Amino acid sequence: MKSLLIFPPDWLPSEPYLSLPSLASVLRPAGHDVTQLDVNVEMYDMFFSTQFLQHTAQRIATERNYLQDVEKERGLDEEEQALLERLLTCTPELFQQFSEDVERAKKILRGETFYDIDQLEWATNCLHQTMALISLAYYPAQICFPPIETDIVYKPFMSTEILEAVDDDQINIYRDVYRMLIRPIMERDRPVMIGISVVQQKQLIATFTFCKMIKEEFPATHITLGGNIITRIRDTLPEMAGLWEWFDSAVVYEGESAYLKLTEAVKTGGDFSKLPNLIYKDETGVHTNKEVCSENLAELPPPDFDGLPLEKYFVPHLILPYLATRGCYWGRCTFCDHFQGYVEGFRTKQVDQIMEEIKFLKEKYETRFFHFTDESYPPALFQKLSRKLIDDKTDIAWTTHMRFEESLLEEKVWQDVAESGCKYLHFGYESGNQRVLKLMDKATKLDAIETNLRMSSEAGIWNHLMGFFGFPGETSAEADDSKAFVEKNSAHIHSLGFMTFVLGKYSPIAFEPEKYGVSYYKNPEWDLALDYYFTTKDGLSIQQAIDVFDEFERKHNTKWDLRTCVREYIFLYIDKYGSNHLPQLEVTEEQRQQMQQTTIGMV
């Protein structure tokens, strides 16, 4: 049976996402004909092409002519006049220049010139400017590269706005993405079943746009939604009658076995009511099955990336994601709701199986670059795998996500990790105040954090810290402690990313708000929201936390202002230059002055 797996926009197109290859790895051995379509990377590759820029020029010309006609009839308001002035700058010469530049930019990102930071910065700026031009054709949408900044006006956490967005041909660029990328495959392959993996909330608008347009043209196709976001909205999704017109089922929690069983049932016309991890509709309504299942990791095959456009990712060397564990071995942080993706606790593959699969993937796909996408790499496995990689002389470069641990306080541990090929670590820092860390149930001591940072840095590993301001009860002075701590240890912190606290709907704090001095409000119109607006009894308010964050963004150590912030790019640079000391990545003084002048001009 033909099955089409789709990964929708928007996501940074620097490496494949693991969900489709994980499904393909169990579907194909069972005899199913699977096509994997990473619409996200195909979309950006298409955007940065002469053909799509010609399409953009036609849309801009149509809008320009319309506004000029309106100007003759009644005059233009301020917004319309400003838009027309911008559209008038979009000359044929401009489009010709952009067409030439984007092809050069893609070659830089996919070739060895990538390692010249001036070239890399020019290429990423070129693509950013190209998206600004494309956005004019879908005004007032802002479609961006990198995509985290994308805003197509409609709110993905409101089903009412998704219902409006899917038919908006002016703003919703994903309608054209469907016509150009998905429809041709639907017409060619006529898949019986489609699975769409949704891992970020912003992907919901693209996802439901694709669902509706597929159902309009291919109504018999069975469409299934899955992924982390679908699991997180499982309680409200059954109530979304309007959305259910465009898809047939949803797989929650882990998907490999559940989706395979569903595929077999679709193929044979079997009964859906006993299938695990399933929400589905029939002529009587929407049903949520009680049966759930989790995966035995020892029985799962390695991911199957066959059929993905591996040459189109925006990197010079393919980076493959690999997952050795499910869940978080710590699993106690009071702000975290990542555990919602699983019905069973933490599990891990054995080291021998991990090694066998890494070697298999390395040889098959001819790459030595791996991103271990585990939520937090367990310290025992961290050490065992590093030693095994060294002993087997497995030449790979890898990066992963870590907690600071008191069990990792020996120099030899970090020397082994670095020798095994570890280049870049994402650390969950959260706070530099011991009382706040205790409230979070991090069980991390500040002196252990300092030691982990020093030892890993001296071993040659790049340390990236993730933290936030405004944890319930955190005072202004305690937020200052977080800033002071990173400044004190700046010699061993190579990059960082702060944000403000978000109250996730499934976090322990949301389950026991009174324990943490929190009150929150559920907006009934925000029916797909994954977090809540809240107030705190003590400590920083939301606005005060934002103010602290803004001040830190303005006044932090300038060494953390980098010319590229893309994790995969820094990872590749560290491997290329054999060092975590990369002064060429730091923003130059000339650039800093230009940014300051731009800011002053805007004010």
Is 536 inside any structural domain?
A: no
450 and 336 in a common domain: yes
Is 512 inside any structural domain?
A: no
Q: Over the stretch 317-345, which tens digit does the pLDDT of each residue have?
A: 999 999 999 999 999 999 998 777 778 88
Is 516 inside any structural domain?
A: no
Answer for the pair 463, 492: CB distance below 8 angstroms, yes or no: yes
| SS3 of residue 602 by DSSP | helix
CA distances from 265 to 186, 248, 260, 346 (A): 21, 13, 9, 30
Is 51 inside any structural domain?
A: yes
pLDDT at position 603, please?
A: 47
The CATH number of the domain holding residue 341 is: 3.80.30.20
Q: Residue 497: pLDDT above 50? A: yes
340 and 200 in a common domain: no
Structure tokens at 421: 């090929």
32 and 50 in a common domain: no
Answer for the pair 375, 348: CB distance below 8 angstroms, yes or no: no
Beta strands 278-282 and 249-251: pairing type? Answer: antiparallel
260 and 402 in a common domain: no
Q: Residue 401: pLDDT above 90? A: yes
Total structural domains in the chain?
3
Is 351 inside any structural domain?
A: yes
Is 281 inside any structural domain?
A: yes
222 and 321 in a common domain: no
pLDDT at position 146, please?
A: 81
Q: Over the stretch 544-576, which tens digit does the pLDDT of each residue have?
A: 999 999 999 999 999 999 999 999 999 999 999
The CATH number of the domain holding residue 20 is: 3.40.50.280
Give the burial class of 338: count Cβ atoms within 10 A of its Cβ; 0-12 exposed, 13-18 middle, 19 or more buried.
Answer: middle
pLDDT at position 53, please?
A: 98
Percent of the chain scored above 70 by pLDDT?
99
* Strand arrangement, sheet containing 462-469: 319-322, 369-372, 397-402, 422-430, 462-469, 495-500
pLDDT band at residue 435 using 50, 70 and 90 as cut-offs: very high
Structure tokens at 575: 């491997």
Answer for the pair 251, 259: CB distance below 8 angstroms, yes or no: yes
Least confident of 142-146, 446-450, 474-478: 142-146
How many angstroms separate the CA atoms of 224 and 195, rounded? Answer: 5
Answer for the pair 339, 328: CB distance below 8 angstroms, yes or no: yes
467 and 442 in a common domain: yes
pLDDT band at residue 592 using 50, 70 and 90 as cut-offs: confident
36 and 63 in a common domain: no
Q: Which domain holds residue 364?
A: 317-501+541-591
pLDDT band at residue 597 using 50, 70 and 90 as cut-offs: low
Q: Over the stretch 512-536, which tens digit does the pLDDT of each residue have?
A: 999 999 999 999 999 999 999 999 9
Average pLDDT, the chain: 95
Structure tokens at 258: 């559940």
* Residue 536 bridge partners (DSSP): 518
Structure tokens at 89: 């700058």
Is 558 inside any structural domain?
A: yes
Residue 321: which region, alpha, beta or left (left: phi > 0; alpha: psi -120 to 50)? beta
Is 515 inside any structural domain?
A: no
Q: Over the stretch 203-226, which tens digit does the pLDDT of each residue have?
A: 999 999 999 999 999 999 999 999
CA distances from 204 to 3, 88, 439 (A): 21, 33, 33
